[in-house]
Amino acid sequence: MNDYKFGEYIYKLRTEADLSQAQLAEKLGVSDKAVSKWENGKAKPQIDMLKKLAIIFGVQVEEMLDMPIETTEKQITKIVITGGPCAGKTTGMSWVQNAFTEMGYVVLFVPETATELISGGVAPWTLSSNLDYQLCQMKLQLHKETVFEEAAKKIYNSDKILIVCDRGMIDNKAYMSDGEFKSALSKLQLNETELRDSYDAVFHLVTAAKGAEEFYTLSNNKARTETIEEASIMDDKLISAWTGHPHFRVIDNSKGFEDKMKQLVAEISSFLGEPEPFEIERKFLIEYPDIKELEKKPNCKKVEIIQTYLNADNGDEIRVRQRGKDGNYIYFKTIKKKVDNIKRVEIETRLTKDEYLTHLMDADTAKRQIRKNRYCLTYDSQYFEIDIYPFWNDKAILEIELSDEKADVSFPDFIKIIKEVTDDDNYKNASLANI
């Protein structure tokens, strides 16, 4: 899916030209995050941009075209737009279509499966049990997503494809008991971690029943039956179901509907690395939290992480990471290339389990393996990650990713902040791994 070879080629040309990402971006009229996406293999420039790059770097455009761009797999990103009843998903889809088509994406929409089934006469109240209905819905959802992914690979007129799912597989969890969901996963031979994290990002629109009650209605969706109270409860269940995903955003009703739509587009743009608001990550040292209380919260999910640093040359930082829970894991390799004293290029690759195990044979024995429990917490429409390290019993690290550096952070009252450590190298994982 990602062309890392081409990304390394762009990185080599840029550094040889003694240009920072920001300087190159300014010459091209794009964001430095777009340049970062090219270099880390998560996106590729289109032909007109290649011509500009060739001029800047003093190479023949044919040389750049010889790189495997059009002949390799496309940049296909699959996201979920979810939310409580009457949250604005239908309008949001229209905004996404318009905004990202203008940015050069082909936007494909996977329609909401529940609406299709219920409108066609297949509903929880027409089948023998809720589990039977949910199995039908999950099977159809899986099939539809597979078809859309296969179709995306064959689109010829764009190398940037955005697949937008109107709800994803994990939405079903909110409409089932824990026992029903486990049974469904077993019958479909799926596990929750892989199912949830198969999407690149998830964006939750909060129901109008929470903060915009005067706009809540049943009239614009025949499949909707919830009262305001039921809609609010369902919204909470959906947020809880998706909590734990590596990139989950909650968009509330605090600024009016149009601003809500603008924020949706901005959050997706930021994730894709397009010239919209940049993602800002802030890190805080906190007092050791009450783990038992965290684990009781429905909007908090534990994720087990093992991070191993590998031998590297030229000042690069290479690590592999195992992420998941209860024996179900996904694996990543991350390379950080130093550009200057502040900036680094980050290249992240998804690994198979066998690839991950092979990389472990090249572990840097001068650094300890980082093992931590990460508690993903949604609170006040914000998404926090709390890292608990086994070598600390009095403190922990809290992180939050923002799309606006001026955004206020509303900390949960049960979290006690010691100090902000965003720019303190002592609290980076690479430093904590030093023996």
The answer to whether residue 358 scores a pLDDT higher than 60 is yes
Report the pLDDT averaged over residues 159-170. Answer: 94
- Element spanning 265, H or E: helix 257-272
Q: In which band, very low, low, confident or very high, does the pLDDT at 68 lie, cut at 50, 70 and 90? A: very low
Q: Between residues 154 and 220, which one has the greater pLDDT?
A: 154
What pLDDT score was predicted for residue 341?
Answer: 44
Nearest to 196 by CA among 221, 218, 174, 219: 174
E strand residue ranges, 89-194: 106-110, 160-166
Q: What is the mean pLDDT of the chain?
A: 87
What pLDDT score was predicted for residue 316?
Answer: 79
CB 209 within 8 A of CB 228: yes
Q: Between residues 65 and 114, which one has the greater pLDDT?
A: 114
What pLDDT score was predicted for residue 389?
Answer: 95
CB 365 within 8 A of CB 311: no
Nearest to 51 by CA among 36, 62, 37, 39: 62
Nearest to 271 by CA among 245, 239, 298: 245
Pairing of strands 370-379, 382-388: antiparallel
Structure-derived torsion over alpha carbons of residues 251, 253, 257, 263, reported in degrees to the nearest 10 = -30
CB 325 within 8 A of CB 312: no
Rg of the chain over Cα atoms, rounded to whole angstroms, equals: 22
Q: In which band, very low, low, confident or very high, does the pLDDT at 70 lie, cut at 50, 70 and 90? A: very low
E strand residue ranges, 179-299: 201-205, 248-251, 280-287
Report the pLDDT averaged over residues 111-124. Answer: 93
Out of 13-22, 345-354, 383-392, which region has the weakest mean confidence (pLDDT)? 345-354
What pLDDT score was predicted for residue 4?
Answer: 62
Token reading at 210: 């929470």
Q: What is the pTM of this model?
A: 0.73
The counts of H helices and E strands in the chain are: 15, 14
pLDDT in tens, 182-240: 999 999 999 999 899 999 999 999 999 999 888 888 766 666 677 899 999 999 999 99
Structure-derived torsion over alpha carbons of residues 191, 194, 195, 199, reported in degrees to the nearest 10 = 180
Query: For the chain, what percent of residues have pLDDT higher than 70?
Result: 89
Q: What is the side-by-side order of every strand in the sheet holding 248-251?
A: 106-110, 160-166, 75-83, 201-205, 248-251
Distance, in Å, from the CA atom of 434 to the CA atom of 368, rounded to the nearest integer, reads 6
Which residue has tokens 């902000």? 420
What pLDDT score was predicted for residue 72?
Answer: 45
Beta bridge partners of 370: 307
pLDDT in tens, 256-299: 999 999 999 989 988 887 754 344 688 999 999 999 999 999 89
Number of neighbouring beta carbons within 10 Å of residue 415: 17
Q: Between residues 261 and 315, which one has the greater pLDDT?
A: 261
Q: In which band, very low, low, confident or very high, does the pLDDT at 346 lie, cut at 50, 70 and 90? A: low
